[in-house]
Structure 1
């Protein structure tokens, strides 16, 4: 029995990694042991990431360096804390993520085998978008890794890629400096793979939910062609659309990353304020460049998810319009009531949430920017 379960699991895994929109992310997470298997790489990466994060926290409590260095290292601290949080979330909720991916695989196959040219074309576009997003995110992540690791080489004073401290050890003297530096160079690409793959996987799954909403709209509008069919056949199709709509909402509500979004929202909002302040007090081109790059990274990390989350809300809301476009006045009352149920459900669009409280949207992203800028102006007034 166990062997059959393992074989079935392996088959599902092979099918998932062959899906372009999620294949790269799942392969990376599997290689590092976060999904579908446990291996030494999982314990190696998590233990090193945790160690680095602890030493970063210690550094932030004891450092007396300049404000610009503290802000830069605070950004690195949040980035690594978020990386560790994502890793532990995958470890402790592996079963939920694997079930979610298994359900996703079934829904993907149902669209792929639909023999509908419109849906097939939409699926092809989503695969291309998801794959390209993963590749671009990974490329940008690796370029950032290269920048983090080489920046200390060109600095005027001896420094590490990330502020890190172990009590009783001076990390800036030989040979501890070289040990710290090599350790951080080794852990940086590992953290990049953990962080970027997780984010790309989430973005691709939101893209797929958008695709499902568009497919539902297409099928609802196609019901007009079946108005003259038997009532039983038409009722069956309407009920299928209701079940499919429910499936979209259930898939998104099953997400276990809402509190990761909350941590990102709070931390990156605070850091954005700090980085704007850093630009204001920057005295050198290097300081200004670093702050600008880090702000760009915050925008790219948050805006991508909020953009697609807003699209999901919009497309799931359009289901009501598609249902209303059916010639509902020409069908029997029981079927009209089913269509009305579908429209009423679509009035509350499918949304991703931040901390199970706030819906992820471009409006919330704008609120984050406004709040960060307000606190920045207050901080600058006190500093001046």
Structure 2
């Protein structure tokens, strides 16, 4: 069993990916079976949307939203399958860093580390409850209709998905296998991203504490301590670059798809009067908005905290140091003028301003669709 699998910071989130064989796995059987079911369902859903495009615009918009959600899940699945070793190395780096702060860190930072660990464990518990509730909802939602209906409507050539025994087989396959797979790719994956951002913010705070603790009267000692802080800062930058490389593509699809997903949900909501469907759509809208908000909130916190390093460097007694010390301080301050930003696809900075822009674009799409439907 790997050390990072038992890291309290990530709680059960990393263990889930280990158990299903997406990381830390030699064999490919688990990984193949985990990928097969979403792909088969995705193909069947595309066929259904293509064949029922002109039947009901509201139903089509709901199907498109689910298709976009599945697309995002498949992007995450592709990232996990493509870069399992990169994820493992990242988790190992975080695990070693976590243990180092736990053993040798400043008492203030050790207390902050414990507080963040408690928050992440609470987040993980909430994930378990949401996953259990989502699985139960996935089972009862199709049963609440008078006609036969799957959780995700699909069609396949030469097969009637609503006839026995295909209906029962697909129903159980979606509820017992597909729903947990979607929840795994949505909740633990997002939790790992959020926890990694929180840890990045923590080590930046640790760097600021180290800089402000430089108080030696000896010029050479002060210079050596400051150079250690520079190396520590470089290590933080490398950690953020690794996180960026791992999840940049996921962030891009999040930005690209979220506007359309929210637009489809709002459009479908404006066309239905069934209370059951209205509550379902409102739940989707709330959940999707919350997940995007929390991701951009913690990414924004990381960028803000990275700018604070410049203030901490200026707070050092550089005026008592030698010329090399002063040059090092100027270099660090200059480097910190550019924040450590996570970028979606390497293009869009993940800040609260970008989050607001996405909401505005989503509402613009919705207004356009609603106007076209009323003509």
2:254 alignment partner, one of 260, 264, 270 = 264
Inter-partner Cα distance in structure 1 for 2:80 and 2:284: 26
Counterpart of 1:361 in structure 2 is 351
The Cα offsets for residues 273-294 of structure 1, whole Å up to 9 and x where unpaired, read as 1111122222221222121111
CA shift for structure 1 position 193? 2.2
CA RMSD of superposed structures (Å): 1.6
Counterpart of 1:3 in structure 2 is none
CA shift for structure 1 position 372? 0.7
Inter-partner Cα distance in structure 1 for 2:22 and 2:239: 21
Q: How many residues align?
A: 369
- Please, which moves more after superposition, 285-294 or 68-77? 68-77
Inter-partner Cα distance in structure 1 for 2:128 and 2:59: 27
User: Residue 351 in 1 paired to residue 341 in 2?
Assistant: yes
Contact 1:313/1:351 (<8 A) preserved = yes
Contact 1:317/1:349 (<8 A) preserved = yes
The Cα offsets for residues 210-259 of structure 1, whole Å up to 9 and x where unpaired, read as 10011111111111x32x1x222211111111111111111111232111
The Cα offsets for residues 37-96 of structure 1, whole Å up to 9 and x where unpaired, read as 144332221111211112122222112442232222222222222222222211221111
Counterpart of 1:144 in structure 2 is 134
Contact 1:19/1:127 (<8 A) preserved = no
1:234 alignment partner, one of 215, 222, 235 = 222
User: Residue 341 in 1 paired to residue 331 in 2?
Assistant: yes
2:210 alignment partner, one of 219, 232, 235 = 219
1:190 alignment partner, one of 181, 192, 195 = 181
The Cα offsets for residues 111-158 of structure 1, whole Å up to 9 and x where unpaired, read as 112242101011111111222112212321331222122101111322
Inter-partner Cα distance in structure 2 for 1:262 and 1:116: 37
Counterpart of 1:6 in structure 2 is none
Counterpart of 2:267 in structure 1 is 277
2:41 alignment partner, one of 28, 41, 52 = 52
User: Residue 19 in 1 paired to residue 1 in 2?
Assistant: no
2:198 alignment partner, one of 207, 213, 237 = 207
What SS class does the counterpart of residue 69 from structure 2 fall into? helix
User: Residue 323 in 1 paired to residue 313 in 2?
Assistant: yes
Give the TM-score, by structure 2 length: 0.94
User: Residue 91 in 1 paired to residue 90 in 2?
Assistant: no
Inter-partner Cα distance in structure 2 for 1:87 and 1:378: 33
Contact 2:11/2:124 (<8 A) preserved = no
Inter-partner Cα distance in structure 2 for 1:116 and 1:172: 63
What SS class does the counterpart of residue 113 from structure 1 fall into? helix
User: Residue 246 in 1 paired to residue 234 in 2?
Assistant: yes
Inter-partner Cα distance in structure 2 for 1:71 and 1:103: 43
Inter-partner Cα distance in structure 2 for 1:115 and 1:310: 25
Inter-partner Cα distance in structure 2 for 1:297 and 1:371: 18
Counterpart of 2:322 in structure 1 is 332
Give the TM-score, by structure 1 length: 0.92
- Please, which moves more after superposition, 262-271 or 81-90? 81-90
Alignment of 1:281-300 (within 5 A): 281-300=271-290
The Cα offsets for residues 296-344 of structure 1, whole Å up to 9 and x where unpaired, read as 1211221121111001001111111111122322222211111111111
What SS class does the counterpart of residue 257 from structure 1 fall into? helix
Counterpart of 1:107 in structure 2 is 97
Contact 1:262/1:354 (<8 A) preserved = yes
What SS class does the counterpart of residue 281 from structure 1 fall into? coil
